[in-house]
Amino acid sequence: MRTMSDTIARLAALRRQHGAHLPGEHAPDRLSTLTGFGSNPGGLTSRFYLPPNLPQGAPLVVVLHGCSQTAAAYDHRSGWSQLADEAGFALLYPEQHGGNNPNLCFNWFVPHDTRRDAGEVLSVRQMIETMVEAHGLDRSRIFITGLSAGGAMAAAMLATYPEVFAGGGIIAGLPFGLATTVPEAFDLMRGAGSVSDEALGSLVREASAHPGPWPKIAIWHGSADMTVVPSNAETIAAQWRSAQDLDELPTQSDQSGGHSRRIWANTQGEAVIELNTIAAMGHGTPLSADLGVAGPYMLDVGISSTREIARFWGIASAQEPAVAGSVPLPVQEQPTAVSVPAVRTFGTDRPLNEAYPLDPRTTQSMPDVFGVQKTIETALRAAGLMR
């Protein structure tokens, strides 16, 4: 187990690291502010974008930024509003603020914020309803995506409100329901522990009374991600395969250059889960030069996950075939799913990075696992990590 001094030192180092990437780049802001969207129990703010001359019945895409990011900066760098202009859909950007989480992470590991009809997930649900009603959007074509902590919160929204969404996109994210405290969040990010596929699927099935059908899920992850290790992508795929009672082996496997893709189809032959891995990519959103702007955690790797996720959902066309010149790989050569953690133990030291999920509400009430709680809280405040 980590010592208290080790934990405090890691958190202080993370705070210094975040200071280099906190919003301040003055990125172009194409977004408007949404107000009056409900009781907002999660205390989030809300931004949105509507392309000119958007027709009635257009799709809605909900986009969740990562830690240390703003909605406007993520929109600018990911290219979502540029694609919305091209393809004709509305955008909604829930936005975190420092009063909820000093690192601007959505609180994906806090049970109250990830339980149906409570906390942050209910705030996002209220924003969606307001957008649909105000702008005549298509309830059958609502989608959600996010990066890192935003990807983990997208997974929580898909699990708690599956009837709302036609599809989701989880980028460098984490599975739903496996972390409920800060220490557990750390361990999940690092890939510690194990849990069965059936238990993973049960977390989704028990998050709502919805019997199915389920949203289609696109998963993206870098093979060199040391912040949220790649086994989390495998676990997300396993969780949704189990929820939908799909086989462990993929229906189709493709590879082009450093981009590999595995697809699981339902009994009707429709692709419902897509797992994309980018070789040698670290923690961030995959981009290409034709859409988006590279920056911290926004990585130009020659393929736009923004465009490809929208293509998978069926609301935009790919600029070129999704995996150009793809060659099917023998299924047996694909790695089997690796399940990640219900029971966590601290493991090998790894660099901490953008996705650290600090929530002052959680640190104030977390069990005294590192020493005397008062001492920890004093140290966290001194490091600027707790208010």
Which residues are catalytically annotated? 148
Longest dimension (CA), the chain: 59
- Phi first, then psi, for residue 333 (nearest 5°) are -85, -10
The Cα 45–Cα 40 span in angstroms is 9
SS3 337: coil
Look at strands 271-278 and 259-265 and give their pairing: antiparallel
Q: How far apart are CA 60 and CA 310, in angstroms?
A: 11
CB 78 within 8 A of CB 287: yes
Pairing state of beta strands 45-49 and 32-33?
A: antiparallel
d(CA 161, CA 156): 8
Asked whether 253 and 261 are in contact (CB, 8 A), the reply is yes
Residues 6 or more apart whose CB falls under 8 angstroms from that of 263 comprise: 250, 251, 252, 253, 254, 271, 273, 274, 275
First-residue to last-residue Cα distance in the chain: 25
- Alpha-carbon gap, residue 126 to 156, rounded angstroms: 15
CB count in 10 Å sphere of residue 258: 15
Q: Give the whole-angstrom CA distance, residue 219 versus residue 145.
A: 10
Tokens (6 digits) for 328 = 């099917």
Place of tokens 């001492």: 375
What is the DSSP code (8-state) at residue 383? T
Closest by alpha carbon to 131, among 194, 64, 61? Answer: 61
